Amino acid sequence: MRLRNTTSSIQDWLTQWYFRVFHGAGVIILPPKPTGNPVKRALGWLDYRVLSLLDAIDTKVLFKNRKERTARGRVRSNGERKIARYLENHGIAYEYERPLVLEGRKLFPDFYLPEHNVYVEFWGRVNEDSSYRVFMCKKKELYHRHHITVISVVPRQVQHIQRHFPRLFYQATGRELFSGKAQEGGVPESA
């Protein structure tokens, strides 16, 4: 019992310290699902902190030298650049990495479309990194739990974003992207 309380106190202290140090730096702290096994719980907790630390390093250090640019500034990847250019070319207003607070944690979804109240996430490493897939699933689960509308874009879709984005928008919202009208069943003909 005493060991469990000590471990919990250490985790709480580290979480608070970590959030203070990296608050506002693109950090995503998603708690693992509670489990009865204390070893699994501790490893899950540590895994999320490591992923969050890597994201913070990317934001504070590596992001400064990114060459991917759009008319509105820098983005993290070529895929995000393609999405941003698509949105710009079609006159769709967006905010890049607008903070979103869920369950007391600050998230930075890739794009927010304020006219539609929809977020867009580009999952660029989904095909190459299994820990990233776990991270993606946990983040999607968090959005779902809070009824946040998110358009998920994967690398194969970003290659043909002109064709895929209107369909993905319709699937997420039930509305056509350019008309704003709700459709009954099916994908719009223009997609």
In a domain, 135, yes or no: yes
Out of 51-60, 89-98, 165-174, least confident range: 51-60
Average pLDDT, the chain: 74
Residue where a domain terminates, one of 17, 41, 63? 63
DSSP category for residue 65? G
Long-range contacts of 35-44 (CB under 8 A, 24+ apart): 38/4, 38/7, 42/7, 42/11
Both 140 and 78 in one domain: the answer is yes
In a domain, 144, yes or no: yes
Pair 109, 120: CB distance under 8 Å: yes
Residue where a domain terminates, one of 63, 80, 99? 63
The dihedral region occupied by 29, where left means phi > 0, alpha psi between -120 and 50, and beta the remainder, is beta
Q: Which two tokens stand for residue 52?
A: 């969050």
Out of 36-45, 59-68, 144-153, least confident range: 59-68
Domain that holds residue 36: 2-63
DSSP category for residue 189? T
Both 101 and 20 in one domain: the answer is no
Q: How much of the chain is in helix, strand and coil states, percent to nearest 5? A: 50, 15, 35
Residue where a domain terminates, one of 17, 46, 63? 63
Residues in the chain: 191
Both 87 and 145 in one domain: the answer is yes
In a domain, 178, yes or no: no
How far, in Å, are 54, 108, 160, 176, 190 from residue 29 at the CA level?
A: 12, 11, 32, 33, 39
Both 79 and 159 in one domain: the answer is yes
Both 90 and 138 in one domain: the answer is yes
| pLDDT of 54 | 65
Both 125 and 102 in one domain: the answer is yes
CA Rg, the chain, in Å? 19
Both 91 and 26 in one domain: the answer is no
In a domain, 191, yes or no: no
User: Total domain count for the chain?
Assistant: 2
Both 45 and 88 in one domain: the answer is no
In a domain, 163, yes or no: yes
* pTM of the entire predicted model: 0.62
Of the pLDDT bands very low, low, confident and very high (cuts 50, 70, 90), residue 167 is very high
Pair 86, 111: CB distance under 8 Å: no
Q: Which two tokens stand for residue 123?
A: 């999952």
Q: What is the pLDDT of residues 90-133, one digit of tens each?
A: 999 999 888 888 887 778 899 999 999 999 999 988 888 777 88
Handedness of CA 154, 157, 159, 165 (dihedral sign): negative
Give residue 153's Cα distance to chain centre: 11
In a domain, 48, yes or no: yes
Above 90 in pLDDT, residue 34? Answer: no
Cα–Cα distance for residue pair 170/172, rounded to 1 Å:
5
CATH label of the domain that carries residue 97: 3.40.960.10
